[in-house]
A and B are shown apart, each in its own frame.
Chain A
Amino acid sequence: QQQVKQSPQSLIVQKGGISIINCAYENTAFDYFPWYQQFPGKGPALLIAIRPDVSEKKEGRFTISFNKSAKQFSLHIMDSQPGDSATYFCAASKGGNTPLVFGKGTRLSVIA
């Protein structure tokens, strides 16, 4: 049973465009939703995270939109750049010391 479903699997966006990656979860006990960026051969790096008490969080060009009733959250990358080309993972956890549950990842390619 996949607890966090991520789509699309891969995404190609023109430079300057908006990249949108979506995730859906099933467990209503999840209360922490981070996004990670991973370059080949590197560990994941935390991009931005949100809790269900807010519907949107923005940090620079990265925005998380959260829909609690639909149990969905998404990452928007504004003004996408070739340097944003990486694999992006959404995740969720129940808080405390519980581990993160990851989506399957989205390979983003930003082309000039």
Chain B
Amino acid sequence: GAVVSQHPSRVICKSGTSVKIECRSLDFQATTMFWYRQFPKQSLMLMATSNEGSKATYEQGVEKDKFLINHASLTLSTLTVTSAHPEDSSFYICSARHRPGVETQYFGPGTRLLVL
């Protein structure tokens, strides 16, 4: 299957700082990427849909000013958690569609964020 990478794999930061997470499609171009967060022993919760060259579409209840998403190229989307707080600690996972109009989504390995 297609390969999606994320960086960093884990990050620890102090409360009030900002953290950027990168999501890359390594062997294909992804016009659409998705960002999820997952709390321990829970399912994946969609945060936003990221489209290359346009503004992200956020799910209800997700603060777009807190979770900044940029999809500047066909292989890179970034999620910036601004002014992070302990309640933002979670597992953040991105996914990408292999081809436009094809439903198959490939997920990255995830980024574990711990805010102290």
Contacts and interface: CB of A to CB of B under 8 A. Distances in A.
A25 interface: no
Interface residues of B, number: 27
Interface stretch (B39-47, B60-68, B80-88): B39-47
A89 B107 CA distance: 13
A5 B25 CA distance: 30
Interface centre among B32, B43, B46, B110 (most CB of A within 10 A): B43
Interface in A55-112: 89, 93, 95-97, 99-100, 102-105, 107
Given A41-B112, A102-B44, A103-B43, A93 B107 contact: no
A42 B109 contact: yes
Nearest to B105: A100
Nearest to B49: A99
Interface residues of A, number: 22
Interface SS majority for chain B: strand
Nearest to B97: A97
B101 A45 contact: no
Interface in A22-51: 32, 34, 36, 41-46, 49
Given A32-B103, A34-B104, A97-B100, A105 B110 contact: no
A29 to B, nearest CB: 13
Contacts of A93: 103
Interface of A: 32, 34, 36, 41-46, 49, 89, 93, 95-97, 99-100, 102-105, 107
